[in-house]
Amino acid sequence: MKFKTIKYHFDLLNDKDRLSAFFQAIKDYDGKTSLACDLGCGSGILSYFLSQYFDEIISLEMDSSAYKCARENLADFDNVKVVNCDVLDYEFDREIDLIVCEMMDTALIDEEEIPVLNHARKFLKKDGTIIPKGIINSCELVNMERDYVHWDEHAKYEVFSDAVIYSQFDLLDDIDSEFESTITLTSNKDGFVNGLKITTFTLLNDDLVCGPTPMLNPPLLIPLEKQLVKSNDLINVKLKYIMGNGIESIQTDILR
């Protein structure tokens, strides 16, 4: 099936690892199949996957250009309803069996996955579920070339510590979007550090975990105050951000 899409969603569709992970998670779903909701459906590819298994799919997309593509792509599917709206403004008229929401970004900082799910989860059946099910976030000390927040594609950096898991979330839970944690990292070499590398792993279901892909949570590099470290030094970093408020909300501080 050919899909009409906007440029950004064209890149999403070409990320085969991302696409196959969500396809497999939808295929593996074994719950009730009356109603599924695709939140932020883009060009409608995940709704297309869902249409093979569910009696009805409600697909919500705020961007008018993407909505027009989804409406055209899914026009032949009588069990799919495509709506042009902000998910936060949509009131579902009955309970949902499955929520699919791929508003994903590294550590859920730059996309609205958390505020959207905190709203939509109110309409989920008690035995309903969400794809993806959760995320795990890890970080490492690095010396990086650039002195601003950026994703690691083509970026130059040197890793100075083992990865430490600093947070994990079950997306079935109500989640406070304001995140704050103090993370202890151990330097494994001598030199200067000036950043953190955050890596996010996506739990599609209990058995399926997807690491970073080009269009699904690529590692994020965040600047720190430059500091000389020696091997086995403990570095305590306070990390703060607001999930859904963008990378501008990130704050870091080395605790002495």
Distances (CA, A) of 33 to 11, 49, 125: 30, 13, 12
Rounded to an integer, the average pLDDT of 77-103 is 97
Q: What is the pLDDT of residue 7?
A: 86
Provide the pLDDT for residue 2: 81
- Start-end of CATH 3.40.50.150 domains in the chain: 7-102
Q: Could you tell me how many residues make up the chain?
A: 256
Over residues 72-83, mean pLDDT = 98
55 phi, psi to nearest 5 deg: -65, -40
pLDDT greater than 90 at residue 8: no
210 or 256: which leads in pLDDT? 210
Q: Where in the chain is the domain with CATH 2.70.160.11?
A: 134-255
Give residue 36's Cα distance to chain centre: 19
Distances (CA, A) of 16 to 19, 40, 89, 186, 204: 5, 19, 32, 35, 15
Q: Give the bridge partners for 81, in sequence order.
A: 58
Sign of the CA dihedral running 15, 18, 22, 28? positive
134-255: which CATH number, 3.90.330.10, 3.30.1650.10, 2.130.10.10, 2.70.160.11?
2.70.160.11
Residue 110 carries which DSSP code?
S
pLDDT above 90 as % of the chain:
95
For the stretch 157-177, pLDDT in tens is 999 999 999 999 999 999 999
Residue 143 pLDDT > 90: yes
Task: Report the SS3 class of residue 77.
Answer: coil
pLDDT score, position 256 = 78
Q: What is the pTM of this model?
A: 0.95
Q: Is residue 25 within 8 Å of residue 205, measured between CB atoms?
A: yes
Bridge partners, residue 139, by sequence: 164, 198
Residue 9 has pLDDT above 90, yes or no: no
- Structure tokens, 236: 């305590």
Q: Among 70-74, 151-155, 169-173, 231-235, name the one with the lowest average pLDDT.
A: 151-155
Mean pLDDT, the chain, as a whole number? Answer: 96
The superfamily in CATH containing domain 7-102 is: Vaccinia Virus protein VP39 (3.40.50.150)
What is the per-residue pLDDT for 153? 84
